A and B are shown apart, each in its own frame.
Chain A
Amino acid sequence: MIRIVRVMLRRRRGTALLVLALSVIASATAAAVPLYTGSAARAVTAAQVAEAAPAELSIARTVLLSHGFGPPQPEEKLAPQLPYRPGFTTVGGLLIGGLLTVPPAAPPVADAVSDVDPVGSPAWLAYRSGVCANVRMVAGRCIAGAGEAIVPESAGRKPGAEIGFVAGTASAGGFRADGDPVGLTVVGVYAIGDLTGAYGAGRSFTGVPQPGEEPEANVPAVFTTLETAAATPFSTAFQTTDLIADGVDFTDDAGLRAVVAQEQTLGEEGGYNVDTTLPELLDRIAAQRTSLERSVQVAAVPLLLLTLVVLYLAVSSSTVRRRTESGLAGLRGVPGFTQWWLSAAETLLPAVAAAPFGLAVGWLGVRVLAAWTLSPGISPQLTWTVVLTVIAAIVTVAALAGVAVAQASRGPIAAQLRGTPARAHNVLIGLAEVCAVLAAAAAGYQITAEDRPGGLALLTPLLTAVAAGLVARRLTGPVAERLGRWGLRRGRVNRAMAAFVIARRPTHSRLLALLVVLFGTGGFAVAATTAGAWARTERAQLDVGAAEVWSLPTTTAGALRDAVRTADPSGRYAMAAAMLPDKRFRVLAVDAGRFCGIGYWGADSELPQEQACAMLHAESGVALPMVTTQTAPDQIAAGSAESVAVTTVAQVSALPRLGTTGGLVDLAGLPAATPVRQAQVWFAAEVPETVRAALRTQGLTPVAIATAARAAEQLDHSGPALALRFYLVACLTAVVLGVTGVLVVGAAEHDEIGRVMRALRIQGMRSRSVPRQVAGGYAVLVVVAAVIGTLVAGLAWRTARGVVPMVADGGWVPRTPLLPERPGLLAVALLGQVVVLLLTSLVVATVLRRSVEGETR
């Protein structure tokens, strides 16, 4: 039997190669889903981890040690526990609060800079394991022995300086010195920025480590050895044990949550206060990954479906042509399995052989896609899930091929021997059409009825396209038949014959359904991708507030506003802004006179920005007007000043920097002496460098700079963005399947249409009429499919644009616009597909013409 199968394969290698190619596409698509999902999930995780706050990457234990200025403790007693957790680095520490002074009983230090407080400045005398490996020395060396210390740049000391430290007890604004001073030698100066990373575990080495404390309350840490810290007399100290998640890949969500829970339990049992926001990071990663996985899976469905449909077309048209062989096997009483195997082998063998190729193609494709869309260095990883998915795809392909073969081998042997096609299952086809339409309607209803639609709703574009394709397929025959007769009555033979070919060859109506799905899903994918990019840009702009925002140290409202106005008297490029220190309600104060020209405003906001600016202008003596996103209190805290009365003048869905919670007031309406935290300067996109320089001259030096472009870039690496890119690539790849579909139908109908054309040629039909009729028929199909598909895409967009994932962090998302953001791109994509398919049709028609001419001669 193997010999016969081999001969069959050799005889019909075209079909075998086509099945092989389609099976490769199917298995590559199947492989691409877990490969891309895995790679993108790693990229998303890496991006989230990179942007995570130090407290989200650590589990910090703190316990207060009370010593009451007793005698120096042995190191062993003060040394923190260092528990081991796989993937975590354990950092132990000891923090003694106090004042940094001149050394006891020593003359003033010669190299002390002028801003050193002669009374003493608040500081932590700190021991922290691994400090030398984790902070960058800008001068001198790191600590190595007793009595040595390293200080931050802000302490104004140089290596070699002698300093004193007096342990104290916490009081308002710092420490009250209570202990005996100890002398230390500064051996190095470190960069404070290194402590704001994961190694710092979110502890305020630049501030008092108490919740709610302002980060600007700068209390630097003077690092010493444990021996030095232990020898320092103190009343109270904080012993710290920080688990730093620097070796965790964040793939085991449940395991990490279990670690957090265990550490919290163990810590509380041991009397520790345990602080971590690691679960929040895990929540964000989980949300991103879930959105990504779901969206990529949904995105792959159209491609897989189209592949299977084209494959079915190819296999069924091939097996129909071999119906006489099937009948012959029946005539000889060949056993059922042998019959089936002889019919199916030439499909099944290429399908199975395609598995490794599909896996390789999928891997390479995802590698290329990953290089384009993901972070550098992330490549797809082959896992058992990928292999099993490919096997599942091949089994599906094989099952489909088996069904196609069984369909083609149906009916009486006499009919098979005559090559008469098996009767179609009209009832089943009708039921399938009804089911498809109902599924599309159910998905549409789910979208309109549910707040957060999922499941079927995500497949709405595909289901709508499939339903429309099936209806179009059903109507094609009668409509084309009428058009054909109409054409004949008017003597338009070519048009009439093209219409008759469409009407009477069922493969053409199937091709129309396929093309409708292609255009429908492709149009939706392009619209979704462009809308996604727009939404991320909108979100990033609103998150940052302006094209560029400087964060500044604490100042007063008046000083900030005056400095910015002095640096940019035109008011076109820079604007002062600040958060007010109200803990209950987030309030952002902006310079309302400049806000309209510089600050971003939601594109779909209920209130025009100019109107908002006008409303914010306050008159003295009355409550401060506030634009809010929700019900606001009547009074808001404004630092050390009295509470400020506010009144809501308008309510909108989202505000810059505040998102969906908070209120906006005019900075000019605040008393000039109001202390502001998170002071900011907002810049317009086209700000000249001279304005920035002028601001620096005014003493406004940024501690951090954020730009809308950078924020948008970060969102571009979020789960939904990566999923939408996969969706687009999948739908564009489907164009290849459309081309293949035209070729398959061309090959399937080659003999029959060729026979008709030859007969007409003998009757005197012109040679050029052959390609006109054939290509004309395909052209009509392509154009009709493009029109229906575009309408379907529009309908699906109108209904289902809300289910397109834009961001996955639960934050504010702009309403997806009804009209496409980049209609030009949509038009080019549509036109490109039409042109490619028409060119393919022309190739099919030309091949047929040559065949007809060759045999007519």
Chain B
Amino acid sequence: MNGMAVICRRVVQIYRAEGGDVVALAGVDLEIAPGEKVALVGPSGSGKSTLIALLAGLMRPSAGRVHLGQTDIGKLTDGELARLRGTDLGVVLQGATRNLLPYATLEDNIWLAQRRVRKVRPADVEPAESVAALVGLLGYGDRRIDQLPPGAQQRAALAVGLAASPGLLLVDEPTSRLDPAARDEVLEALDRVNADRGTTIVAVTHDMAVGEAFGRVVTIRDGRVGAEGRGGREFAVVAGDGTVQLPPAMLASYPPGTLFSVDDVDGAVMLEAEKPASP
């Protein structure tokens, strides 16, 4: 399957908690082209994992719309969402073993993940060995997951996420707790999948190396898209409500309440802070 586009429009997610409601996403606007690789970064609690869960259909947004390809997943039933996850959407959770039956072989895990697509699109089903080969685990098919080294387990998790040949692969912290060699193996595998299949990949990470490898890095801050980096350059992003977040490093110099004048000069936006009046 070809890569799948992702479009988020003013996505809001509110959790209900004992102490009151918690706003996890406060209006996320994001567009990801088919076959693109995007790394979502940001501090803990910024809403990255919530966004991934929404894209995976594990939650429904409190407001806003999430489109995967042509589908508004907010309108899908649970059954349709399950079908989507079984065919077009690959999800790899943080922690390799959370994605796998540890006592089963890699082949069995892949077989289970292909169960739905085998019924819906049997022609798209690749042999387990091919899927394993895609992540560099050729010959590991009959090995039990709990007998694999950590790097191989993470790649096995990727293999399971890719087993149905999805158009979109969502990966949460693909390189956490891996040594540099294992991390490189995983990144190489993701790169190969993207290159060979054109699969759109969205990864949540704290690892800057992942961001560098992906090229496009979206920073989530306070439940919004705070910034975006492309080709080594950092950009501020205009949100759907017209707001623009300053880079965190500047916030110390411009405390909340600071006034800016905004001027559009020949296509360049100039922000000029008002100096406080002298006492």
Contacts and interface: CB of A to CB of B under 8 A. Distances in A.
Interface of A: 3-4, 7-8, 10-11, 324-325, 328-336, 338, 342, 412-414, 417
B103 A8 contact: yes
Nearest to A342: B112
B58 interface: yes
Nearest to A11: B103
B227 interface: no
Nearest to B88: A333
A332 B101 contact: no
B190 interface: no
Contacts of A328: 98-101
A7 B104 contact: yes
B59 A330 contact: no
B101 A4 contact: yes
Interface string B86-110: 1101010100001111011000100
9 contacts: A7-B104, A328-B101, A331-B91, A332-B86, A332-B164, A334-B113, A335-B86, A335-B115, A338-B115
B143 interface: no
Given A328-B98, A333-B86, A7 B108 contact: yes
B83 A333 contact: yes
Contact of A334 (B86, B98, B99): B86
B131 interface: no
B85 interface: yes
Nearest to A8: B103
Closest 8 pairs (CB-CB, A-B): A333-B86, A333-B85, A11-B103, A333-B116, A414-B58, A332-B113, A333-B82, A334-B115
Contacts of B104: 4, 7
A579 B103 CA distance: 84
B160 A332 contact: yes
A334 B58 contact: no
A333 B163 CA distance: 12
A332 B103 contact: no
A332 B115 contact: yes
A7 B119 CA distance: 24
Most chain A CB neighbours (cut-off 10 Å) among B84, B87, B113: B113
Interface in B148-177: 160, 163-164
A413 B82 CA distance: 10
Given A331-B91, A334-B116, A324 B98 contact: yes
Contact of A4 (B87, B99, B108): B108
B236 interface: no
Interface string B65-93: 00000000000000000111111010101
A731 B169 CA distance: 58
Interface in B172-189: none
A333 B93 contact: no
Nearest to B93: A417
Contacts of B112: 4, 329, 332, 334, 338, 342
A335 B113 CA distance: 10
Contacts, number: 68
B58 A331 contact: yes
Main SS class of interface, B? helix
A460 B108 CA distance: 52
A331 B85 contact: yes
Nearest to B116: A333
Given A331-B91, A333-B164, 20 more contacts: A3-B108, A4-B101, A4-B108, A4-B111, A4-B112, A10-B103, A328-B98, A328-B100, A328-B101, A331-B85, A331-B93, A332-B86, A332-B164, A333-B82, A333-B116, A334-B116, A342-B112, A412-B58, A417-B58, A417-B98
A586 B132 CA distance: 97
B269 to A, nearest CB: 40
A413 B103 contact: no
B26 to A, nearest CB: 20
Interface residues of B, number: 29
Contacts of A332: 85-86, 112-113, 115-116, 160, 163-164
Contacts of B113: 332, 334
Contact of B87 (A8, A333, A338): A333
A325 B101 contact: yes
B53 interface: yes
Interface in B28-86: 53, 56, 58-59, 82-86
A4 B111 CA distance: 10
B119 A335 contact: yes
A334 B81 CA distance: 11
A232 B93 CA distance: 111
Contacts of A413: 58
Contacts of A10: 103
A328 B93 CA distance: 10
Contacts of B53: 414
B73 to A, nearest CB: 13
A8 B59 CA distance: 29
Contacts of B164: 332-333
Contact of A7 (B98, B99, B103, B160): B103
A417 B100 CA distance: 12
A330 B81 CA distance: 10
A334 B86 CA distance: 6
A334 B85 CA distance: 9
Contacts of B58: 331, 412-414, 417
Nearest to B107: A3
B153 to A, nearest CB: 14
Contacts of B98: 324, 328, 417
Contacts of A417: 58, 93, 98
A412 B15 CA distance: 14
A276 B40 CA distance: 97
Contact of B84 (A11, A330, A333): A333
Contacts of B116: 332-335
B208 to A, nearest CB: 27
Nearest to B87: A333
B164 to A, nearest CB: 8
Nearest to A338: B115
Interface string B226-240: 000000000000000
A489 B260 CA distance: 58
Contacts of A7: 101, 103-104, 108
A4 B101 CA distance: 9
Contacts of B160: 332
Interface string B137-153: 00000000000000000
Contacts of B93: 331, 417
B88 to A, nearest CB: 9
B233 to A, nearest CB: 35
Contacts of B56: 331
Interface in B198-231: none
A333 to B, nearest CB: 2
Contacts of A334: 86, 112-113, 115-116
A11 B91 CA distance: 26
A504 to B, nearest CB: 17
A8 B53 CA distance: 28
Most chain B CB neighbours (cut-off 10 Å) among A7, A330, A332, A335: A332
B108 A330 contact: no
Contacts of B86: 332-335
Nearest to B118: A335
A697 B76 CA distance: 105
A330 B82 contact: yes
Nearest to B56: A331
Contacts of A338: 112, 115
Interface string B5-37: 000000000000000000000000000000000
Interface in B235-268: none
B246 to A, nearest CB: 33
B60 to A, nearest CB: 10
A230 to B, nearest CB: 92
A557 to B, nearest CB: 91
Most chain B CB neighbours (cut-off 10 Å) among A10, A324, A325, A413: A413
Nearest to A333: B86
B184 to A, nearest CB: 27
